[in-house]
Structure 1
Amino acid sequence: MNFQERKQIIIEKIETNGSVDVKELAVLLNTSEITVRRDLAVLAEKGLIFRTHGGAMKLSLSYDPVDFVNKSAVRGEQKEHICQIAATFIKEGDVVFLDCGSTVYRICPFIRNMRIKVVTNSIPIVNALLNSSVSLNFAGGEIDMERQASHGQIAVEHFARYRADKAFLGVDGISLTNGLSASSEKEAEISSTLAKYAKETFLLCDSRKFEKDKYLPFAPINMANYLITDTEADASLMKQYECLGIKILQ
């Protein structure tokens, strides 16, 4: 098992449990405690975890902005695969809406050298694309500290002033029965607005979110034109989604 594979497992474990110890990780990863300590040191240096005496713990959700990067790193290989596909649809000169999802954030390295305009409500995306070839337009409004993004009526009105060639959205839940669902009204409102004012809409969704309903169902699956996911998605389920009017890309 290489470092990238161990990194994903370590971050997922910490994200789920809040903390881990070295001995537990050594057993889980089938490797030595020395290797685990070295991996934890690297992850702590990158700001993805907080190193403790006997292991590591999750960064605070309440105030530490690097927690967003920590969340984005969970299932990082799957998210990177999704965003590589998504980036192939963006062309020079495009106007692109990007929402504040942790999966959408992973598209930034693939578009930094493109002469496009990005309109977003995500602070991490703005930071990732500063000093790049991308022209940035930030939707203002009230800042959600956990999501590191602007929300509310001002942000919605800002997006509504523009027209995009493509919109790329994350989604908290998706199911055949209830369509797309969000964890809050403000997230649902932003997603609906971006889809409304874009020529084409892409959902970026890793396979663990399928057939899971969150707090607020807000739109049918075919609100988007495309659903981009990872190769772990169930083929028969993807065919059922396509029957509802959305094209699946893996």
Structure 2
Amino acid sequence: MMSAAETRQEAIIVMLRDEPFLSIGTLTQKFDISVATARRDLAELEKNGLLRRTHGGAVSVSQVANDLSNALRAVSQQREKQLICKTAATMIDDGDVVLLDAGTTTLELAKLLALRQNLTFITNSADIIAEFIRHDVANFYAVGGEYAEINRSFRGNLAEQFIRQFNVDKLVLNAASIDLERGVILTGSPVNASIQRAMLEVSRRIIVVADHTKFMKSSFSVVAKIEDISTIVTNEGARSIIEASPEKLRKKFVIAQ
């Protein structure tokens, strides 16, 4: 016979298969338990590697040591990415110098921005470069360096040196994952983190674009603290996770509609 705690903890794991985030409040109401009991349940489940605790609740456990391939990411959360990019596009003003990080979400944004005039672009993404050429975009700079097929980007020392020559108004950055408990933006490898940090160095405003799935996993390399990011644009699916985070982090988020 399972104990009441074991039965409850099994139910929590089942719930996390369908919910991106379970708050302490949800658990206390559903199981009619105290906050302390809910926290003990989550601590026990985390100790056994079955979930990851965050501020105010828990998410399903998933450690991502390497980025998924561009082909896999391109077909994931497409509608959410489009909504996010429509909102992010409103944050770009005429006359801006815009640095676009490599990734499938920033590619969606590039498709929108390529139709606008009076913008200057810099990018290390082979796909975004091709998109700009296809639309006869006049003012853009292509970052060179070591080519990485995993996300169809140019990176390494040469790419970082090239980026550091510019003064950028807006950086649009991809994130492999976002850890609200630690307050950090993450990516899959140190070499990716290194070029993204070079982008941060030269940019006045930093806009991270990330759908709700990026809050449900972790990654290998830290890129930046959330407190150093200007804005994080995400979709409705992340609302419950964001609302459980500290106030100083919540104000960084914009939820695309």
What's the TM-score once normalised by structure 2's chain length?
0.67
**Separation of aligned partners in 1, 2:194 and 2:162:** 13
Q: Distance in 1 between matches of 2:249 and 2:147?
A: 35
Q: 1:133 Cα deviation (Å)?
A: 3.7
Does residue 118 (structure 1) correspond to residue 100 (structure 2)? The answer is no
Aligned residues: 184
Matched-pair contact (CA < 8 Å) for 2:70–2:103: no
SS of equivalent to 1:100:
coil
Residue 78 of structure 1 corresponds to 80
Instruction: Name the TM-score, length of structure 1 as normaliser.
Output: 0.68
Written as runs of structure 1 = structure 2, the 5 A alignment for 1:231-250 is 231-235=236-240, 237-238=242-243, 240=245, 242-244=247-249, 247-250=252-255
Query: 1:144 corresponds to which letter in structure 2?
Result: A
1:186–1:245: structure 2 CA closer, same or farther, 3 Å change rule?
A: farther
Q: Distance in 2 between matches of 1:126 and 1:239?
A: 38
| Deviations, residues 219-248 of structure 1 (Å, cap 9, x unaligned) | 211221000001111335246265237521
Which residue of the partner structure matches residue 57 of structure 1?
none
Q: What CA deviation, in whole Å up to 9, does each residue of 1:136-183 have, x standing for no partner?
A: 101110100221110101101111100111000010111123311110
Matched, 1:150 2:154: yes
The correspondence for 1:129, drawn from 129, 132, 136, is 132
2:143 is matched with 139
- CA deviation map 1:204-231 (0-9, x unaligned): 0000111522112232112210000011
SS, match of residue 217 in structure 1: strand
Greater Rg over alpha carbons, structure: 2
Percent identity reads 23
Q: What is aligned with 2:12?
A: none
Pairwise CA distance, 1:101: 1.5
Residues 78 and 206, structure 1, Cα contact 8 Å, conserved in 2: yes
Correspondence list, 1:53-72, <5 A: 68=70, 71-72=73-74
Match of 2:94 in 1: 92
Question: Which runs of no fewer than 5 residues in structure 2 stay unpaired?
Answer: 1-68
Contact 2:196 2:223 in 1 (8 A): no
Q: Name 1:221's counterpart in structure 2.
A: 226
For the 8 Å contact 2:84–2:233, the answer to whether it is kept is yes
Computed over aligned residues only, the root mean square deviation of the Cα atoms, in angstroms, reads 1.9
CA shift digits 1:176-203 (9 cap, x unpaired): 2331111001111122121221110000
- The code of the aligned residue for 1:158 comes to F
Cα distance in 1, alignment partners of residues 200 and 244 from structure 2? 23
Secondary structure of the residue that 2:99 maps to in structure 1?
strand
> Is 1:101 matched with 2:103?
yes
CA distance in 1, matches of 2:220, 2:112: 32
Is contact 1:195–1:223 with CA below 8 Å preserved after alignment? no
| Residue 90 (structure 1) shift | 1.1
CA distance in 1, matches of 2:225, 2:97: 25
Q: What secondary structure is seen at the aligned counterpart in 1 of 2:195?
A: helix
Residue 244 of structure 1 aligns to a residue in which SS? helix
Residue aligned with 1:201, SS: strand
Aligned partners of 2:246, 2:127: CA distance in 1, in Å?
A: 31
| Of 191, 196, 200, the match for 2:201 | 196
* Per-residue deviation, 1:134: 4.8
Q: Is the 8 A contact 1:172 1:182 kept in 2?
A: yes
Change (3 A) 1:157 1:102: same
Aligned to 1:147, what secondary structure does the other structure show?
coil
